[in-house]
Amino acid sequence: MKTPLLTLCLALWLMPFHGLHAQSPAPTTQETVNEKVAAQQKDKSLLDVYADGGMWMHPILLTSLIGVALTGFCIIMVRAGRVMPPQLLADLNSLMVNKQVSQAYQLCQSQNSPLASVMGSALVKANFDQPMYNKSAMESAAAEALYAEETKLGIWVNYLNVCAQIAPMLGLFGTVVGMIQAFNQLAAGKAEPSDLASGIGVAMITTAGGLVVAIPTMCLYFFFRGQLTGIMTDMQKQCSRLLDLFTGELNQDGTRPATGYTMQVPSVSSDR
């Protein structure tokens, strides 16, 4: 008697839980539509997202390609080994110590590097008949050539900054166009999400596209600008050292030569 009663009580207690699993509600039509839309969004490729951005994605893509090309150019050109070839620096060091101006100038003329251009401009001003071999004029010529070489390379680095500035503005312009399209749909009385999705999609995708291009390009611009500044500062020091070796103000080991005399400091008497 107790067993059937216990079984009946357990059945009555478990009945609600059984109903929860057995009678799950069928998805409504709206839920089915949402699931299909979510599945379509999940299956979208990067090319599909690009196409959803509209025509404003084309100039953003062009800006990114230009940025990639400029990055490759800066990687090749803005480096210490290209600006100051180690072999050229060693050869000039030896020639300057031995006062072989003609050979050093011919070596600079045969090389294609900023260091060769700067030292070649300086050696033209060398004159053994002038005090210190006309060092002041050599330093002025070297400074002018150094500024010209830095400007020449800096132009390409600055183009990276141009790409970093243009890309988000193109994305913002696409955002404005997309929002205008969405508001035009609202003005026409179309307030369904599907009616507004196209314009809002253009607005968001173009904004994201512009930022995706601008952020790494801006980082690369600051990196190469700092690298160029450091390399040019180092080259200025090396050119100054080469001129000091040529004029005898510096030994090859980096020490200063002895002056050969000691200047006497006159004593000032307190008696008048």
- Tell me the pLDDT tens digit for each residue of 30-62: 555 455 545 555 566 778 878 878 888 999 999
pLDDT score of 51: 82
Which pLDDT score, from 0 to 100, does residue 8 have? 42
Contact (Cβ atoms closer than 8 angstroms) between residue 236 and residue 146: yes
| pLDDT of the residue at 249 | 87
In terms of Cα–Cα distance, which of 165, 166, 186, 177 is closest to 53?
A: 177
Query: Cα–Cα distance between 91 and 94 in angstroms, integer?
Result: 5
State how far the alpha carbon of 158 is from the alpha carbons of 69, 150, 216, in Å: 13, 12, 14
Give CA separation, 2 vs 13, 15, 121, 173, in Å. Answer: 16, 20, 114, 80
Question: What residues have CB less than 8 Å from 212, skipping those under 6 apart?
Answer: 64
DSSP classification of residue 87: H
pLDDT band at 81; cut points 50, 70, 90: very high
At residue 72 the predicted structure's pLDDT band, cuts being 50, 70 and 90, is very high
- Average pLDDT (232-259) is 87
By CB atoms closer than 10 A (0-12, 13-18, 19+), residue 146 is: buried
Lowest mean pLDDT among 94-98, 110-114, 190-194: 190-194
Q: What is the mean pLDDT of residues 153-166?
A: 96
What pLDDT, in 10s, does the model give residues 204-214?
Answer: 888 899 999 99
Q: Are 147 and 136 in contact (CB under 8 A)?
A: no
pLDDT at 264 over 70: no
Distance CA 210, CA 148 (A): 33
Distance CA(178)–CA(53), nearest Å, equals 9
Token output for 232: 């040019």
pTM score of the predicted model: 0.74
Amino acid sitting at position 179: M
The whole-chain average pLDDT of the chain stands at 81
Q: For residue 133, give the DSSP letter.
A: G
- Report the alpha-carbon distance of residue 136 to residue 249 in Å, rounded: 13
